[in-house]
Homo-oligomer: A and B are copies of this chain.
Amino acid sequence: MPDKKHTLRLKRLGIDTYKEAVIYMHTDCHICRSEGFEAQARIQITLGDNSIMATLNTVDTDLLDVEEASLSNYAWELLKAHERDIITLSHPKLLGSVAYIRSKIYGNALKKDEMAAVIKDVTTGYLSDVHIATFLTACAGGRLDKQEILYLTEAMLQVGDTLTWNSPIVVDKHSIGGLPGNRTSLIIVPIVTAFGLTMPKTSSRAITSPAGTADTMEVFAPVELDIAAMRKVVEAENGCIVWGGLSLSPADDIIIRIERAMDIDSEGQVVASILSKKIASGSTHIVLDIPIGPTAKVRTPQMAQMLKNGFESVCQEFGIKLHISFSNGLQPIGRGIGPALEAKDILAVLRCEKNAPQDLRDKSLTLAGQVLEFSPRVLPGTGKQLATTLLDSGQAWKKFQAICQAQGGMFEPPTAFHQHVVTASISGHVRSIDNRRLARVAKLAGAPRSKAAGVELLTPLGSIIEKDQPLFIIHAETAGELRYTVDYFEQEHTIIQLEP
Contact = CB atoms under 8 A, between A and B. Distances in A.
B450 A36 contact: yes
A10 to B, nearest CB: 14
Contacts of A102: 263-264
A77 interface: no
A58 B17 CA distance: 7
Given A133-B130, A134-B264, A140-B105, A478 B16 contact: no
A261 B15 CA distance: 23
Given A17-B40, A58-B16, A63-B13, A481 B137 contact: no
B261 A40 contact: yes
Contacts of A477: 36
A157 interface: no
Contacts of A73: 60
A59 B76 CA distance: 14
A98 interface: yes
Nearest to A42: B261
B261 A91 contact: no
A379 interface: no
Contacts of A130: 129-130, 133, 258, 261-262
Interface in A417-445: none
Nearest to A260: B40
Interface stretch (A27-35, A219-227, A234-242): A27-35
Contacts of A59: 13-16
Contacts of A91: 480, 484
A131 B261 contact: yes
- By Cβ-Cβ distance, the 3 closest A-B pairs, closest first, are A14-B61, A18-B40, A137-B137
Interface of A: 1, 12-18, 20, 24, 27, 33-36, 38-40, 57-61, 63, 72-73, 91, 94, 98, 102, 105-107, 128-131, 133-134, 136-138, 140-142, 258, 261-264, 446, 449-450, 477-481, 483-484, 487-488
